[in-house]
Amino acid sequence: MKTINLKSFKNFSKKNSRSTMARMILVFLIPFIISCEPTTKTKEQQAPSAMEQSFDLENEINFCEAQLDKAVLKLTDLTKHPRLIETNETEWVEVPNDKLIWTSGFYPGILWYMYELTGVQKWKDEAIKRTEVFEDFKNITEHHDIGFMMFPAYGNGVLFGDKQEYKDILLTSAASLATRFNPNVGTLKSWSNIMHPRWSEHITIIDNMLNLELLFWAAKNGGDSTYYDIAVKHAETTMKNHFRDDYTSWHVLEYDETTGEVLNRHTKQGYSDDSRWSRGQAWGVYGYSLMYRETKDKKFLDFAQKLADRYLELLPEDMIPQWDFDAPNLETQERDASAAAVVASALLEMSTFVTDKKDQERYYNAAIKMLTSLSSDVYSGKGKAASFLIHSTGAKSLGSEIDVALIYADYYYIEALSRLKKLNKTSN
Ligand code: GLY
């Protein structure tokens, strides 16, 4: 059994000294130690938990493949995709592949990642089958989710399956998304006012940061170069307006569509307009890390670090956030494993961008702790459900998807496994 632990990180950082090891142990132990009450601890209490010591990547990939092996036999309706598993249930609830349902691309995206991780042809065949059913979504202009829908499916198909014929579909998708850019505001409009009538002008939500990946890809692959500019402008405007002084994110901003003035800062999926919705913060961390990847502009990496550092400070000990950091009686609130998976994936990438060794260690080790926690009996679907992960919360404020399994939690989880595998290869 090959586990990822502090020793593995030593390889990753290409450093082989005792002092590095000592520093890394300290990085792990300091939060653990300072959260402890005074000095009379037993040996057991002082030792780092199993969660902090190791993560068995190969075992986890095998588990995910076994889950998918079983799932494909049941998920046969090509007009639908798995979206969630209800609390204490075992099987996926399927919903239509529909232009208005933002989650359509994640299941094919997972299959592409499984193909990438294993090289097994059946995963490519299955991924193609599940991807090619919603080509016409490339023309969606009614909302911003086209990025979430098309890139995990068609984008991963190009990246991992060499499906060159998907390129035109992605270019059309990017053109559709770009129609939502309002230069008066400097952002893409996320939602339609008809579907979200609380707001009557230009709505931008933090989640939108993820859709920028589609624009960057298109700008590099034969699309209009303005897609790049739009993505950068969106990120800059969002950086200016969408965050509190403590580097936490609001969910929904409404802008005057003519003057670009911020009209209000609200929420839809968080606990309250002023509360800190954990998945919103996760989208921010991921989004600004992605901005640095695509632009190499240091201001985006600095910002991603600020968002990540705040997120890490707000986490409970097991590294899986409550669905909102400001919900009352926080300890009793449902967790959101999807936010944890998004951030774990982002931090693995960020750990390769930051130049300071201590930051590399911090982000890498935090990601490993998150993955270890997610793969534990508490958060894993092992023996409990058809998903990789359980205990996610989609929209508690709307009374839906509370403490369930969610397809996008699994998507960002397998993405994190893929990123970790690549990191380990680089370091060996
Ligand atoms: N719109 C994506 C989310 O619910 O986080």
Look at residue 2 in the predicted model and tell me its pLDDT. 59
Reported confidence tier of residue 1, pLDDT bands at 50, 70, 90: low
d(CA 107, CA 152): 8
Residue 4: the pLDDT is: 67
Q: Which strands, in side-by-side order, build the sheet including 262-266?
A: 202-205, 252-255, 262-266
pLDDT value of position 28: 35
Q: What is the pLDDT of residue 264?
A: 98
pLDDT at 139: 98
More confident residue, 425 or 309: 309
CA separation for the pair 80, 133 (Å, rounded): 9
Q: Could you report the per-residue pLDDT of 21-34, keeping only the tens digit for each?
A: 444 333 333 332 22
pLDDT tens digits, one per residue of 221-241: 999 999 999 999 999 999 999
Model pLDDT, residue 157 = 98
Query: Which H or E run contains 215?
Result: helix 212-220
Write out pLDDT tens, residues 248-307: 999 999 999 999 999 999 999 999 999 999 999 999 999 999 999 999 999 999 999 999
Contacts of 391 (CB under 8 A, 6+ apart): 320, 334, 335, 336, 337, 378, 379, 403, 405
Mean pLDDT of 393-422: 98
Residue nearest to atom 4 of ligand 1 (CA): 394
- Whether 39 has a pLDDT exceeding 90, the answer reads no
pLDDT of residue 426: 77
Q: What are phi and psi of 55, to 5 degrees?
A: -140, 125
Stretch among 18-32, 125-139, 309-323 having the lowest mean pLDDT: 18-32
Residue 411 has pLDDT above 80, yes or no: yes
The set of catalytic residues is 145, 207
pLDDT over 70, % of the chain: 87
Residue 102 Cβ inside 6 Å of ligand 1? The answer reads yes
Q: Which residues of 309-343 are buried (b: 16+ CB within 10 A; e: fewer)?
A: bbbbebbeebbbbbbbbbbeeeeebbbbbbbbbbb
**Which atom of ligand 1 lies at the shortest distance from residue 102's CA?**
1
Helical segments of 272-383, H only: 278-295, 298-314, 337-353, 357-374
Ligand 1 pocket test: pick from 269, 278, 402 the residue with the most ligand atoms within 8 Å of its Cβ.
269
Model pLDDT for residues 163-206, shown as the tens digit of each residue: 999 999 999 999 999 999 999 999 999 999 999 999 999 999 99
Kindly state if the Cβ of 279 falls inside 6 Å of ligand 1: yes
Q: Quick check: 345 pLDDT over 90?
A: yes
Give the chain's mean pLDDT: 90
Any idea which residue has 């950086």 for tokens?
239
* C-alpha to C-alpha distance for 140 and 240, rounded to whole angstroms: 28
Give the model's pLDDT for residue 428. Answer: 62
196 C-alpha to ligand 1 centroid (Å)? 14
The Cα-based distances of 311 to 226, 248, 271, 302 in angstroms read 32, 8, 17, 14
pLDDT digit string, tens, across residues 76-90: 999 999 999 999 999
What pTM was estimated for this model as a whole? 0.89
* 395 CA: nearest ligand 1 atom: 4
How many angstroms separate the CA atoms of 188 and 176, rounded?
Answer: 11
**In one letter, which amino acid is 178?**
A
Q: What angle do CA 244, 245, 249 make, to 5 degrees?
A: 25
